[in-house]
A and B are shown apart, each in its own frame.
Chain A
């Protein structure tokens, strides 16, 4: 799939010049996943397969409901199930069954895009969707190192990286993502980022009223906020559902794809220029006597 020309590409991997910027009257979008409404039916997984023509290999039961056990190149969203014991007022711990729909978070500051060495293999549209343009992907796996959420998966068949597109093709023509359309409980909603933040906060206050004290909205600012957000029952401990508490692009990646790039190029070019001028100024080391004889 090639870049969607009807949308602005506001960031493009391995590109130093500005991308097309004129179509700017585009609201940022977001998907809001409300854990408290999710029943773990996996209809979203099926809808994702259906819309994106994905059919993962039949795997093995690993003893829990997670199926497949993790994201794969052909499973862009996966329901993850967590059995958590939390303290209760009665003294004996509450057993809670937390369910999280895993997939790309569509970071506003995407680490995959920062790490990607191939021009245009990863783009961010004006609406905030981060998309992999597979035809430009070279299969190096740098996006895996850049991502703070361990999302991209590289296919063994074609050596291309894959992940949730937030149904960029559907959103582009005014439809909501397939998982949102299919969710039977309304646990997944889609709209402008502002609306989704407002709706998420409303849901959080409703949950708090019902005694879920640590409810909160997961929209981590360390990656500039995300275009996939969660309403969580335990927002104080996102690790319970296998999410980092305060994710950001790893400092080693920032250094490698930040300061190191211009410094190294300046160093290499500088060394060559210095050599040239040294030769011009000082001249070669040679046997002066030998030259005079000639």
Chain B
């Protein structure tokens, strides 16, 4: 039976998302290489230690810029509302496989909104702290103590961003039919009814 398909993302949204995703992976792998000795081998992907050190900040800045594109498109849909509290109360049961009590949600559920704001926050911190010890151009303008604070905060927010991304990717795999929203731009109607009924109502209004 051919399913009716609903458009969830425009082509530009998707290209923006995937460019950001590539930049995230490159920035994360190169950053992790400097964070833990057991991951230093990631520098081989970027042409060695020096090149990884040179490239990492540029990949990071491109990631933040492309996130800005996503942010401007999506922030309104991610404002946390009163209705989200109800969803949060039942989230524990859903994680254990029982979705029956979940209140109907719009374009994004509370979990997605949290991920969105955690990513926005951690990327802001990463950008600001990254400049503080970006050699050779910006680091000389800052005191050593300030740079120590910045590297620590940079590492912590990078871990937060990586964890948020793991949750984001897992949720897309866990909820069947989600990945195609980003790979093809469309979702099935039954996916929309099951996971985002209010959004489904909104986009099928007047049809």
Interface residues of A (CB under 8 A from B): 14-16, 117-119, 136, 138-142, 144-145, 150, 154, 156, 159, 250, 252-253, 255-256, 260-261, 264-265, 267-268, 271-272, 275, 278-279, 282-287, 289-290, 293
Least distance between A243 CB and chain B CB atoms (Å): 15
How far, in angstroms, from A267 to B152 measured CA to CA in the complex? 16
A285 lies within 8 A of B176 (CB)? yes
The residues of B that contact A290 with a CB separation of less than 8 Å are 3, 188, 190
B97 lies within 8 A of A159 (CB)? no
B155 lies within 8 A of A136 (CB)? no
Least distance between A277 CB and chain B CB atoms (Å): 11
Least distance between A136 CB and chain B CB atoms (Å): 7
Contact of B148 among A253, A275, A284 (CB under 8 A): A253
Q: B193: nearest residue on chain A (CB-CB)?
A: A287
Q: Does B58 contact A (CB under 8 A)?
A: no
A268 lies within 8 A of B162 (CB)? yes
B37 lies within 8 A of A14 (CB)? yes
A287 lies within 8 A of B37 (CB)? no
Residues 66 to 110 of chain B near chain A (Cβ within 8 Å): 94-97, 99
Contact of B155 among A256, A282, A285, A287 (CB under 8 A): A256
Q: Give 20 CB contacts A-B under 8 Å.
A: A138-B43, A138-B53, A139-B53, A142-B34, A159-B136, A252-B152, A253-B148, A255-B152, A264-B35, A265-B38, A267-B159, A275-B167, A278-B170, A278-B174, A282-B95, A282-B96, A282-B97, A284-B173, A286-B194, A287-B191
A156 lies within 8 A of B162 (CB)? no
Q: Does B122 contact A (CB under 8 A)?
A: no
How far, in angstroms, from A266 to B175 measured CA to CA in the complex? 26
| Interface pairs A-B: 4 shortest CB-CB | A138-B49, A286-B176, A14-B37, A117-B34
The residues of A that contact B177 with a CB separation of less than 8 Å are 286-287
The residues of B that contact A267 with a CB separation of less than 8 Å are 159, 163
The residues of B that contact A285 with a CB separation of less than 8 Å are 94, 99, 174-176, 194-195
The residues of B that contact A117 with a CB separation of less than 8 Å are 33-35, 37, 40
Q: B163: nearest residue on chain A (CB-CB)?
A: A271
How far, in angstroms, from A109 to B41 measured CA to CA in the complex? 26
Least distance between A115 CB and chain B CB atoms (Å): 8
A256 lies within 8 A of B49 (CB)? no
Given A140-B135, A267-B159, A271-B166: A119 and B95 within 8 A (CB)?
no
Q: Does B118 contact A (CB under 8 A)?
A: no
A139 lies within 8 A of B152 (CB)? no
Least distance between B121 CB and chain A CB atoms (Å): 18
How large, as a class, is the contact surface on chain B? 35 or more
How far, in angstroms, from A116 to B170 measured CA to CA in the complex? 33
Count chain B CB atoms within 10 A of each CB in A253, A255, A290 and give the residue with the most: A290
Count chain A CB atoms within 10 A of each CB in B35, B37, B173 and give the residue with the most: B37
B175 lies within 8 A of A144 (CB)? no
The residues of B that contact A282 with a CB separation of less than 8 Å are 95-97
Least distance between B181 CB and chain A CB atoms (Å): 14
Given A138-B53, A154-B136, A250-B145: A260 and B155 within 8 A (CB)?
yes
The residues of A that contact B20 with a CB separation of less than 8 Å are none
The residues of A that contact B43 with a CB separation of less than 8 Å are 138
Contact of B159 among A156, A255, A268 (CB under 8 A): A268
The residues of B that contact A272 with a CB separation of less than 8 Å are 166
Q: Does B36 contact A (CB under 8 A)?
A: yes
A142 lies within 8 A of B174 (CB)? no
Q: Does B18 contact A (CB under 8 A)?
A: no
Q: Does B133 contact A (CB under 8 A)?
A: yes
A268 lies within 8 A of B166 (CB)? yes
The residues of B that contact A156 with a CB separation of less than 8 Å are 136
Given A282-B97, A286-B177: A264 and B159 within 8 A (CB)?
yes
The residues of A that contact B156 with a CB separation of less than 8 Å are 260
Given A16-B38, A156-B136: A136 and B49 within 8 A (CB)?
yes
Q: Does B151 contact A (CB under 8 A)?
A: yes
The residues of A that contact B162 with a CB separation of less than 8 Å are 268
Q: A255: nearest residue on chain B (CB-CB)?
A: B152
The residues of B that contact A287 with a CB separation of less than 8 Å are 176-177, 190-191, 193-194
B133 lies within 8 A of A141 (CB)? yes
Least distance between B200 CB and chain A CB atoms (Å): 12
Contact of B40 among A118, A260, A268 (CB under 8 A): A118
Q: Mark each residue of chain B from 149 to 189: 1 if its CB lies under 8 Å from any CB of chain A, else 0.
A: 10110011001001100110010011111000000000010
Given A117-B40, A156-B136, A250-B148: A140 and B174 within 8 A (CB)?
no
